[in-house]
Amino acid sequence: MSTNSTLVASGPEWRVQDVICTSGPADKPFEEMHDEVCIAIVTSGTFRYRTRQGEALMTPGTLLLGNAGACFECGHEHATGDRCLSFHFTQRFHEAAVSAVSGAGKAEFDIARLPCLPRFARVIADAETARDENDISALEEAAVRLAGGVATMLRNAAAKERAPSPRDIRRIAETIQRIEAKAGERFPLTTLAHEAAMSPYHFLRTFRRIVGMTPHQYVLRMRLHRAAVRIRRTKEPISTIALDCGFDDLSTFNRRFRDIMGVNPRGYRFQSSN
């Protein structure tokens, strides 16, 4: 297994690493251990993550959760390579974040991952841009926002996810790869289901169970994420970015962007430049 980990920022009780893995189906997974509490943003690629809390297919936008001292394995049976922005916290830092959330339970994670969720869209886009711009202050803020946001999501102790079958995981992983490669194209549900050799109903139910949202919601989230990163990184016209990312109507793009990011595209660009 070939993994390159680069420290991009750190503080007294936190650090952020850019982790790029080039492993593929021919590479056998091996056991590793989280040395600290870990919340990792999957920014590209897919892989299987297995730990004591369960097993899950990790896809772009999902959050990998790891307890300090917990052993885990990552497998790439369905695709080659992935990239994660991995946030590590001391136990004290993490417990402080959990205690600050009203009604939060214990600090230890009971599940292996959080699926793509709209509430994390902005912090994920901000964190990825901060990584590329080497903005340490922004990464520190992202670390605090992630720790508190995850604690908030988990305060109502979620039940363990039912483990999907290997066949379902493979089919959905292949679908995710197609979407990630051509996120600007249209993806009719019937077409995706046909390519996965599943009925539309079974495909929709299986995709939602594995990924955490419907295919339409996932495509929309990916398009908005890519648009948000380009808005921050470049001075390209917002209309050009919207069209390139698969939105045919600028007003629809502005509305959906505001719904997810909490501010319209121009306001997001202005906030990012100050």
Helices and strands in the chain, H and E counts = 10, 10
Intervals of CATH 1.10.10.60 along the chain: 166-272
pLDDT > 70: percent of the chain = 94
CB crowding 192-204: b at 16 or more within 10 Å, else e: bbeebebeeeebb
* Selected residue with higher pLDDT from 183 and 22: 22
Q: Which residue has the tokens 């004290």?
A: 92
Mean pLDDT of the chain: 87
Intervals of CATH 2.60.120.10 along the chain: 3-153
Q: How confident is the model at residue 155 (pLDDT cuts 50, 70, 90)?
A: confident
CATH 1.10.3720.10 is held by the domain 166-272: no
pLDDT > 90: percent of the chain = 41
DSSP assignment letter at 261: H
Say if residue 131's pLDDT is above 60. Answer: yes
Tell me: the pLDDT tens digits for 71-127?
999 999 888 889 999 999 999 888 888 887 766 667 789 899 998 888 898 899 989
pTM for this model (two decimals): 0.74
Instruction: Classify 3-153 by CATH class.
Output: mainly beta
Structure confidence at residue 156 (pLDDT): 55
Say if residue 158's pLDDT is above 60. Answer: no
How far apart are the C-alpha atoms of 268 and 127, rounded to whole Å? Answer: 14
How far apart are the C-alpha atoms of 250 and 91, rounded to whole Å? Answer: 45
Q: Find the mean pLDDT for residues 209-231.
A: 89
| Residue pair 54/111 in contact by the 8 Å Cβ criterion | yes
Say if residue 162's pLDDT is above 80. Answer: no
Say if residue 274's pLDDT is above 90. Answer: no
